[in-house]
Structure 1
Amino acid sequence: MRWIVLTITILICNCVTSPFIRADGIKQNPIFPDNVKLELLFTRQAKINSGLTEGPAVAPDGSIYFTDMPFGKADHGMILRFDPKTQRTTVFTNDSGKSNGLAFDTNGFLISCDGADGGGRRLIRWDLKTGKGTTLVDRFHAKRLNAPNDLCIDSQGRIYFTDPRYIGDEPRELKYRAVYRLNKDLSIIEITRDVEKPNGITLSPDERTLYVGDHNNGSDGINVAPNAPPPTKGAMKVYEFPLDKNGLISGPRRTLVDFGKQAGCDGMTVDAHGNIYLTCRSLKKPGLMVIDPHGKELAFLPTGPTDQSGEFEDWRGIPSNVEFGIGDEKNILYVTIDKSLYRVRVKTEGHHPTLRRKQ
């Protein structure tokens, strides 16, 4: 497959701390190297116009699994696998149940969040050897989940996941959009509903802080009239929630980033230093924003043109999710953008609690 290289100009934060100033006084970007380049690894081959790629997750062998999510009930979506050694992308399954976010658990199984719009509305555990998927959970208090979106897994194997709802006409049974945790014994508990529309989610390296992206675009996908006015948008923020030793919220949330009227972040991840990498879907300024644990912006990498407008299918360079590689690629960042998979080298290293022993 031919690689396409996209050169990006880095926007450096105005306030970089002293460890990132060279001897000659010139500020250095603490995250992205000079002349950074995004490498295009894969673009959708199927003849489907709608939807996007999502959910990159690194497997124990270093390969990257990611999802291809078309809109509409005619196609159930795919999970794909990119092999860094061969540079080839293959299909793991062509019936993913509208999988969105992905992650690997402590036993090497692939866990997927299946959404609505004809999808499974559940969490699935996939066996990489057999290609078979098993439902882990699809209900909370006997009511169907809305549309699981993204997830992260702690070192004990407990799965934190978000359950918003963006598209699909399936009836909603749960009143709230919440963040849940699936325990090792498959019991499910509500972590918080103090988020309007929870989307991206990740844990700090010490697992004492939970980060959640609130991406309330106002859309619910239910009973939308043909000539209905545009939905009213809500919170576009990134929150942190303190966790106690049991992995439960132990204090009030704190806002790290407020995107205002612009679209906020989708997926996110952390590096070994605790910095948070956010995929910003703002049409005014799409890209990867990196913040420290206090919410200070460290770096920004544009992924598409600024000041865009128009319909969804005309958008360009809009990122959806991000993941670090492992082993020789521990400082490689994989990013899903539009209907493609990219990667970029950074100065930091990723953090993978479920793969810690395998790195």
Structure 2
Amino acid sequence: MFSDVMDNKVYKWSEDNNISVYLEPSGYTGEGTYSNEPGSNGLIPDGDKLIMMQHGDRRVAKMKTNLDKPESSFSTLIDSFEGKKLNSPNDGFLDAHGNLYFTDPPYGLPELMEDPTKELDFQGVYCLMADGELRLLDTLSRPNGIAQSPDGSTLYVAVSDPAHAVWYSYDIEEPGNISNKNLFYDATQEVNQVNPNGLPDGLKIHSKGYLFASDSKGLWIFSPTAKLLARIYTGQATSNCAFNADESTLFITADDHLLSIKLQ
């Protein structure tokens, strides 16, 4: 399953190359047109549930997962911080303890940073603790993709800001508590030379600790020590990626294409 953020849909692809609309609407459940990116963004499986980052409804929501006939009844996990509405939750992951880390840039708002309905004066990186407490971990200009190392000790966050196109790493001291913010890799010069509209976006971490991070023309592959190991070029602004169960295949969402590549 993958989100089409602009079209307010989630699609389902199967191994026999059948594709179908799985869910509509996916992120904005109101009436009329909302914004250029109203749909769901990050999707996180959670047992028989699906956690969704809903741009248009400005919340993190959960629904029952039924691959044949989804029940499009959403329950809100979180939609505000200290009484103020979130911007547009973008990407996230669950840790081993059931805590949900997620980012909240302005991309789902109709007028982005200048939107009159924007209530928060910052863009946050959060952790929704399993007990329901929402913790603000950091504020960044444009937080986007987010993931953690296989051993749960390091948090990675992509920043999709043309003036500061970078990835940060943090030490996870304990769930919901981070320290030692470090500039993991700065790609500002390169991405602006290629395509200022394609910036650090979604990322996934291989079980061996390698980072697969998307940007304007494909994926960067980094070692855990920030050494650039390889590039996968799609030729298009690339938003995210995901591994299959045994990590033999990498799926990539690149503009209006869903791609796959076999991994060694």
**TM-score, scaled to structure 1:** 0.63
Structure 2 match to 1:87 = 17
> Which of 169, 176, 185 matches 1:257?
185
Kindly report structure 1 stretches of 4+ aligned residues shifted beyond 6 Å. Answer: none
Deviation at 1:152, TM superposition (A): 1.4
1:335 paired with 2:248, answer no
Larger RCO: Structure 1 or Structure 2 (Cα < 8 Å, ≥ 6 residues apart)?
1
Residue type of the partner of 1:238? W
Q: Tell me the distance in 1 between the aligned counterparts of 2:72 and 2:260.
A: 26
5+ unaligned residues in a row in structure 1: which ranges? 1-64, 217-232, 305-316, 348-359
Structure 2 match to 1:234 = 163
Within-5 A mapping of 1:8-47: none
Deviations 1:287-340 (A, max 9, x none): 111001111001111111xxxxxxxxxxxx21100110114xx32101001112
> Which of 165, 168, 172 matches 2:106?
165
Instruction: State percent identity of aligned pairs.
Output: 31
Residue type of the partner of 1:127? K
- Structure number with bigger Rg: 1
> Which of 32, 43, 67 matches 2:3?
67
Q: Tell me the distance in 1 between the aligned counterparts of 2:48 and 2:257.
A: 25
1:296 paired with 2:227, answer yes
Q: Tell me the distance in 2 between the aligned counterparts of 1:325 and 1:245.
A: 28
| Higher strand proportion (structure 1 or 2) | 2
Task: Tell me how large the CA RMSD over aligned residues is.
Answer: 1.5
SS of the aligned residue for 2:177 comes to coil
Structure 2 match to 1:267 = 202
Q: Tell me the distance in 2 between the aligned counterparts of 1:128 and 1:303.
A: 31
Q: Tell me the distance in 2 between the aligned counterparts of 1:331 and 1:245.
A: 31
> Which of 116, 122, 126 matches 2:59?
122
Answer whether contact 2:129 2:176 (CA < 8 A) is retained. no
Structure 2 match to 1:190 = 136
Structure 1 match to 2:147 = 202
Deviation at 1:204, TM superposition (A): 0.4
Q: Tell me the distance in 1 between the aligned counterparts of 2:26 and 2:256.
A: 16
5+ unaligned residues in a row in structure 2: which ranges? 28-38
Deviation at 1:131, TM superposition (A): 3.7
Q: Tell me the distance in 2 between the aligned counterparts of 1:135 and 1:88.
A: 31
**TM-score, scaled to structure 2:** 0.85
SS of the aligned residue for 2:179 comes to coil
> Which of 86, 89, 92 matches 1:151?
92
